[in-house]
Amino acid sequence: MKFSESFRDRDLVQGLSRRLRHLVSGPVTFMEVCGTHTLAVARFGLKHLLPPEVRLVSGPGCPVCVTAQEDLDAFLALGRLPRAVLASFGDLVRVPGSRTSLEKERARGVEVRVVYSPLEAVALARECPEKEVIFLGAGFETTMPATALALRAAAAENLLNFTVFSIHKTMPPALRALLGSGDRKLSGLLLPGHVSTITGTAAFRFIPEEFGLPCAVSGFEPLDILWGLNSLIEQIAAGRPEVANMYPRAVPAPANPRARALLEEVFVPEDARWRGLGIIPGSGAALREKYASFDARRRFAHLLAQVPPPPATVCRCGEVLRGVLSPRDCPQFGSSCHPSRPLGPCMVSSEGACAAAYRYERA
Partner 1 sequence: MCLALPMRIVKIDGPQAVVEAAGVRLKARLEVLPEAAVGDYVLVHAGLAIARVDPQAAADTLALIRKLTHEIQ
Cα–Cα distance for residue pair 25/319, rounded to 1 Å: 29
C-alpha torsion 318→190→116→310, nearest 10: 10
Our finding on whether 34 is near partner 1 (CB under 8 A) is: yes
Task: Determine if 188 is a binding residue for partner 1 (CB under 8 A).
Answer: no
State the Cα–Cα distance between residues 274 and 256, nearest whole angstrom.
27
CB 213 within 8 A of CB 188: yes
Residue type for 292, please? A
Task: Single out the residue of 81, 114, 128, 146 in contact with partner 1 (rule: CB under 8 A).
Answer: 146
C-beta separation of 121 from 149 below 8 A: no
Partners of 345 in beta bridges: none
Total number of residues binding partner 1 (CB under 8 A)? 56
Using CB under 8 A as the binding rule, whether residue 117 contacts partner 1 is answered as yes
Regarding 25 and contact with partner 1 (CB under 8 A), the answer is no
Q: What angle do CA 234, 5, 223 make, to 5 degrees?
A: 10
Closer residue to partner 1 (CB): 4 or 181? 4
> What pairing do the DSSP bridges indicate for beta strands 54-61 and 28-34?
parallel
Q: Which stretch binds partner 1 (CB under 8 A): 70-78, 135-143, 268-276, 309-317?
A: 135-143
Q: Which stretch binds partner 1 (CB under 8 A): 3-11, 278-286, 305-313, 330-338?
A: 3-11
* Binding status of residue 145 toward partner 1 by CB under 8 A: yes
Instruction: Name every residue whose Cβ is closer than 8 Å to that of residue 223 and which is 6 or more positions away in sequence.
Output: 6, 7, 8, 9, 12, 13, 16
Among 94, 168, 176, 194, binds partner 1 (CB under 8 A): 194
CB 58 within 8 A of CB 38: yes
Nearer to partner 1, 262 or 304 (CB): 262
Residues 76-105 that bind partner 1 (CB under 8 A): 89, 91
Which of 1, 305 has the CB closer to partner 1? 1
What's the CA angle centered on 345, arms 251 and 194, to 5 degrees?
Answer: 5
Which residues face 191 on adjacent strands? 217
CB 152 within 8 Å of CB 165: no
Does 51 sit near partner 1 (CB under 8 A)? Answer: no
- Min separation Cβ 140 and partner 1, Å: 6
DSSP states of 113-162: EE-SSHHHHHHHHHH-TTSEEEEEE--STTTHHHHHHHHHHHHHHT-TTE
Of 174-182, 188-196, 279-287, 307-315, which part binds partner 1 (CB under 8 A)? 188-196
For partner 1, give the closer residue by CB, 81 or 119: 119
Mutual angle of helices 144-157 and 118-127, in 10-degree steps: 20
Q: Kindly tell me which residue out of 24, 50, 167, 195 binds partner 1, with binding defined by CB under 8 A.
A: 195
CB of 349 to partner 1, least distance (A): 7
Confirm if 222 and 250 have CB atoms less than 8 A apart.
no
Our finding on whether 362 is near partner 1 (CB under 8 A) is: no
Q: 278-337: which residues touch partner 1 (CB under 8 A)?
A: none
Q: Are 68 and 114 in contact (CB under 8 A)?
A: no
Told to check if 138 binds partner 1 by CB under 8 A, we report: yes
Only segment of 179-187, 255-263, 269-277, 279-287 that touches partner 1 (CB under 8 A):
255-263
Q: Residue 18 interacts with partner 1 (CB under 8 A)?
A: yes
Q: Which residues 212-251 are close enough to bind partner 1 by CB under 8 A? A: 220, 223, 227, 230, 246, 248-251
Binding site for partner 1 (CB under 8 A): 1, 3-4, 6-7, 9, 11-12, 15-16, 18-19, 22, 34-36, 61-64, 89, 91, 116-120, 138-140, 142-143, 145-146, 149, 192, 194-195, 197-198, 220, 223, 227, 230, 246, 248-252, 256, 258-259, 262, 349, 351
